[in-house]
Structure 1
Amino acid sequence: MKFKTYIAKIMIVPTVILSITSCANDYLEEVTYGEVSPSEMTSPANVELAIISAYSVLNGQFDGASNAYNSPASNWSFGDVVSDDAYKGGGGTGDQNNIHQMEIFNTLPTTIDVERKWMALYEGVKRANEAMRLLEASEDFDDDLRIQRKAELQFLRGHFYFELKKIYNHIPYIDETAETVNDYAKSNTEFTSEELWNKIEADFQAAYNVLPTTQDEVGRPTKIAAQAYLAKTYLFQDKWQLAYDATTEVLNSNYGLMDDFQELFLPENDNNKEVIFAVQHSVNDGQASNYNGSIGDRLLAPGGPFYSQYGFQRPSQNLVNAFKVTSEGIPAHSNETLTDTDFVDPRLDITIGRPGIPYKDLDILYDSSWARDLATYGEFSPKKRIVSANSEYFVTVWPYVSALDYYIIRYGEVVLWRAEAAVEIGQLEEARSLVNQLRDRAKNSQYVKTLDGSQDAANYKIALYANVWSSQDDAREAVRLESRLELALEGHRFFNLVRWGNADNVISDYLEVEKTRRTHLSNATFQAGKNEYWPIPQAYIDGVTDGMVTQNDGY
């Protein structure tokens, strides 16, 4: 049985585990899942189920509700909507108004997304910790396999804490020594930021030391996945030489770029050579409500004759303009509204649905009428991670999910990390070569064609950077723009802006112009020193000992 299907069998019904989805009193309750008695918990089969239960919350779905869109693994709201890449979308500002408040930087400690994301990630931490305890207590578990499974759990815990750190910054840290509910009610200032990063690094390093180079079951992390994630932790701390060194083994591994950018995001190509670690999705697998599908992204369907009319994560005009290139095929660095005669990077129409351009393989032109609330959010829709309505991997009835995995780390992203680190340590020529690898892939990918297939659907042009970058500043700008174009609508943009230290300038400049295009942003203001991170959920603060938790600055 494939591991992906194995996860599907037990996602919402894991073994008996103490469920602490948040550390507030409201959530500090024992919830029994399944019918396994405590005396049977340490049998090898049940320990394996406990381990799988830790994997199962990677997609943000941790209970019987259907609102993983408030805690999406893809971070479409946390990483894209609050950046210059996307608007909330939907049926106006009142539809999921909580996300609208995030978009205009009026997030509160009681915002449902703030609470649900926290709960989902700490549920992952808790399940990883509890599975480690059961694994250690199991007398009959194979000793060699025990070592590998613990490494997998350390990798998963590292992932959950990485997400918590980049979203909330000051977080409580709980490890596998936690035995009771109260052990999960801890201060978020017990450890400094550096100490928290050290703990996250330690989990990925421990996983790297043990995990195999390849896994027989897709979805389990490999040694290279642990090394890649370790590189990412260094990147987020500006440890440039360490990040550079850590990417060496990844770039020299069996992973690599897919030949065609379009084919990278097809569910039939899940777990291809570019995917280093992913949330495994599946549909029509027997799981109720297809909760093992892309449940966190179920509101992103673009509308029109083939899709539901949810219409969230609508690409911004600013993002569309970023794909404009010069007549030579180099980024134009222009925020003037794109016209039909402009030359554009071919990744534009793979990433974004635009009027007059064929949409997927549906033999139809995308039309502005597809866009829900056109007047508020404009005419564009997501496209890159939307699965064709013709595909057997897309569910055409509620909850309108697909089996396309969410790529937590892909090889193309690691190429960009290496390029970033190379710039910062003065290796500008290597950085240029790395960026050119991605541009060359885009150049040689299949372009979107007209419906009759006779010609390109737009004026596509892309060229490699032929000249030596004259300064570190020029190199840095080129790498960061390439990151935006290559990774657009994959949930990374806002977090990259924050770690680059230019979120305030970029978003403020974006809002100054975008407010003239979209009135729903008229009250949006980014406050430096506050809006780089989300508030600690009020429910958590209220549920622990008074004074134990310090709220993030500005909230």
Structure 2
Amino acid sequence: MKNKILHNLLLILSISFVSLSCEEDLNVEPNNAISEFDFLNNPDNAVQLVNGVYNKQLDYNMYCFSWIGMTSITSDDADKGSTPNDTGTDKHKMDNLTFNATDISFIDVWEGRYDGIYRANNALFYLEQLTIDPALKSRLIGEVKFLRALYYFDLVRCFGGVPLVTTKIDINNTEEINNIVFVRRSKEETYAQIETDLTDAIERLPIKGQYSPNDLGRATKGAAQALLAKAYLYQEKWQLSYDMAGEVITSGQYGLLANYAEVWREVGENKVESIYEVQATLNKGLIGYTDVQGARGTPDLGWGFNTPSLSLVNSYQEGDVRKNATVLFVQSTPFTLWDGFEGSPTWNNPRYNYKAYQSSIAESWNGNKGETAKNLRVLKYSDILLIRAEAAYQNSNFGEALARTNEIRVRAGLPELTTITLADVLNERRWEMAMEHDRWFDLVRTGQAPAAMAANGKTFVVGTHELFPIPNNQIIASNGRLTQNPGY
């Protein structure tokens, strides 16, 4: 109820978390029912505290409708979908690049990440006080720092420099709030914080193979290295990105699945290609992700948003298996999906996102399509191969760029290239990562956005659309201390 009433204020997020950290995330009795000594000496409380930072990723304002709108519908890989009159509140504006600072998508993404950051900061504060096994404590701190870095990576890619809140905030300290919570730092400072958190996490976290089966899916050393390689890539720190991607590749922990189509299915969850996934179960599912993108009509599988574009479909080379693994094509007569489910020619749109499809026949299913057990892939080995290839090309190491790109192409059923260009690498990135929420950021960071949007009949405003607007409600809450991005 507190969140429902007050969630729009960044300051109030810290207040709401103070309550949530005791009641929901810890899963322990209220503080007045246990002693401080008992709390600080119970390792189970430490794990539950950290689980609360992970569980934030399942919420609607993390990876659901708003994130899909900002990262996919904006791009040339996807259209709004659904029906012409169903705007999805602001998703038609995402599609047309006519959005503004009052749109709900920006509010959701901003508040969702900062809620996660507050959880992380509170977890780190209490972890330092817990009297538990030092190795467990260090690992849990590493997990939280990875998650905080991930949340800031989303924020900096979307909004540029943002407020850096890295400690437990005293909600009664107005000066602290005004000087930290409501003050934007530069993009460079934000990336520096991401690098600091990930560097520390790398030192603390085990490799994937060292986790027990019960802990599968927790942040690993490889996940921290992969995210750091990606953060370096976005800053054009080519050699650092190349080296860090190399650490992941040579770790022996990861590889490509033989069948590309299985990467996003339940059978591919947490397998060799997975570096980091949001973990979802039937009891604690991912809210809205599959429902928003499911086929609309009869039989009804969802809302029908975020449909693959003709631009994406027409971009694939002949024989690329990734095309039919990514795009669910609606046919003129009844047709069968990969799991045996019968699709309908009456579905509203001609195409849907196959990667977001949750099978009610061949995968974990309890009938609740609004909260599914489908994991969300965040970092994959194929992504790292492409990061390595791009960084290698930028360093004039064309042989390495060619070799890593060809690893991707062979799995896709395409002939190997004999020479390599930057366009080759970026095209492979588009096809390999299609509908996986990287395309918009890749267009922006590589300078392709104006031409790509023009080819799609959209106007990319140089000097403005490189960043999304800071949510207006946050600027109001800060009494104008937060500054807006150019052009909004």
The residue that corresponds to 1:195 in the other structure is 189
In 2 relative to 1, CA 161–310 (structure 1 residues): closer, same or farther, beyond 3 Å? same
- CA distance in structure 2 between the partners assigned to 1:153 and 1:27 by the alignment: 18
8 A Cα contact 1:303 1:311, kept in partner: yes
1:322 and 2:304 aligned: no
What amino acid is the match of 1:132?
L
- CA distance in structure 2 between the partners assigned to 1:79 and 1:317 by the alignment: 18
**Once the 2 structures are TM-superposed, how far is the Cα of residue 131 of structure 1 from its aligned partner?**
0.6
8 A Cα contact 2:14 2:115, kept in partner: no
**Once the 2 structures are TM-superposed, how far is the Cα of residue 531 of structure 1 from its aligned partner?**
1.4
What amino acid is the match of 1:351?
T
Query: Which of 322, 325, 331 matches 1:350?
Result: 325
Q: TM-score, normalised by structure 2?
A: 0.88
What amino acid is the match of 1:476?
L
In 2 relative to 1, CA 20–417 (structure 1 residues): closer, same or farther, beyond 3 Å? farther
**Once the 2 structures are TM-superposed, how far is the Cα of residue 47 of structure 1 from its aligned partner?**
3.1
Alignment of 1:488-527 (within 5 A): 488-511=434-457, 524-527=458-461
SS in 2 for 1:205: helix
Count of residue correspondences: 463
What amino acid is the match of 2:346?
S
SS in 1 for 2:378: strand
The residue that corresponds to 2:467 in the other structure is 533
Alignment of 1:76-155 (within 5 A): 76-138=68-130, 140-155=131-146
Query: Which of 166, 169, 173 matches 1:178?
Result: 169
1:37 and 2:31 aligned: yes
8 A Cα contact 1:108 1:535, kept in partner: yes
In 2 relative to 1, CA 309–60 (structure 1 residues): closer, same or farther, beyond 3 Å? closer
- CA distance in structure 1 between the partners assigned to 2:268 and 2:369 by the alignment: 24
SS in 1 for 2:346: helix
- CA distance in structure 1 between the partners assigned to 2:399 and 2:93 by the alignment: 43
In 2 relative to 1, CA 398–435 (structure 1 residues): closer, same or farther, beyond 3 Å? closer
More helix by share: 2
- CA distance in structure 1 between the partners assigned to 2:8 and 2:232 by the alignment: 28
The residue that corresponds to 1:553 in the other structure is 486
- CA distance in structure 2 between the partners assigned to 1:191 and 1:397 by the alignment: 41
What amino acid is the match of 1:251?
I
Q: Using the TM superposition, name which of 121-130 and 44-53 deviates more.
A: 44-53
SS in 1 for 2:286: coil
- CA distance in structure 2 between the partners assigned to 1:482 and 1:309 by the alignment: 30
- CA distance in structure 2 between the partners assigned to 1:85 and 1:314 by the alignment: 8
Query: Which of 198, 209, 230 matches 1:204?
Result: 198
SS in 2 for 1:299: helix
The residue that corresponds to 2:380 in the other structure is 410
**Once the 2 structures are TM-superposed, how far is the Cα of residue 509 of structure 1 from its aligned partner?**
2.2
The residue that corresponds to 1:463 in the other structure is 415
8 A Cα contact 1:261 1:441, kept in partner: yes
8 A Cα contact 2:290 2:369, kept in partner: no
What amino acid is the match of 1:537?
P
- CA distance in structure 2 between the partners assigned to 1:248 and 1:30 by the alignment: 41
Alignment of 1:431-470 (within 5 A): 431-443=401-413, 462-465=414-417, 467-469=418-420
- CA distance in structure 2 between the partners assigned to 1:68 and 1:424 by the alignment: 31
In 2 relative to 1, CA 464–395 (structure 1 residues): closer, same or farther, beyond 3 Å? farther
Alignment of 1:46-65 (within 5 A): 46-61=45-60
1:271 and 2:270 aligned: yes
In 2 relative to 1, CA 398–277 (structure 1 residues): closer, same or farther, beyond 3 Å? closer
The Cα offsets for residues 127-177 of structure 1, whole Å up to 9 and x where unpaired, read as 000011111122x22222111111111111111111111111121000125
Q: TM-score, normalised by structure 1?
A: 0.78
**Once the 2 structures are TM-superposed, how far is the Cα of residue 492 of structure 1 from its aligned partner?**
0.9
In 2 relative to 1, CA 477–20 (structure 1 residues): closer, same or farther, beyond 3 Å? farther
- CA distance in structure 2 between the partners assigned to 1:311 and 1:264 by the alignment: 22
- CA distance in structure 1 between the partners assigned to 2:205 and 2:81 by the alignment: 41
CA RMSD of superposed structures (Å): 2.6
Query: Which of 476, 480, 489 matches 2:426?
Result: 480
The residue that corresponds to 1:384 in the other structure is 355
8 A Cα contact 1:236 1:499, kept in partner: yes
8 A Cα contact 1:24 1:541, kept in partner: no
1:69 and 2:69 aligned: no
The residue that corresponds to 1:303 in the other structure is 296
- CA distance in structure 2 between the partners assigned to 1:480 and 1:104 by the alignment: 24
In 2 relative to 1, CA 395–277 (structure 1 residues): closer, same or farther, beyond 3 Å? same
**Once the 2 structures are TM-superposed, how far is the Cα of residue 350 of structure 1 from its aligned partner?**
1.0
- CA distance in structure 2 between the partners assigned to 1:161 and 1:429 by the alignment: 34
8 A Cα contact 1:22 1:123, kept in partner: no
**Once the 2 structures are TM-superposed, how far is the Cα of residue 180 of structure 1 from its aligned partner?**
2.6
1:421 and 2:391 aligned: yes
Q: Using the TM superposition, name which of 151-160 and 353-362 deviates more.
A: 353-362
In 2 relative to 1, CA 414–184 (structure 1 residues): closer, same or farther, beyond 3 Å? farther
- Unmatched runs of 5 consecutive residues or more in structure 1: 1-11, 326-342, 444-461, 470-474, 512-523
The residue that corresponds to 2:26 in the other structure is none
What amino acid is the match of 1:359?
L
In 2 relative to 1, CA 397–130 (structure 1 residues): closer, same or farther, beyond 3 Å? closer
SS in 1 for 2:47: helix
The residue that corresponds to 1:213 in the other structure is 207
- CA distance in structure 1 between the partners assigned to 2:410 and 2:127 by the alignment: 47
8 A Cα contact 2:14 2:171, kept in partner: no
- Unmatched runs of 5 consecutive residues or more in structure 2: 24-28
8 A Cα contact 1:21 1:120, kept in partner: no
- CA distance in structure 2 between the partners assigned to 1:390 and 1:184 by the alignment: 50
SS in 2 for 1:349: helix
- CA distance in structure 2 between the partners assigned to 1:177 and 1:262 by the alignment: 43
8 A Cα contact 1:307 1:396, kept in partner: no
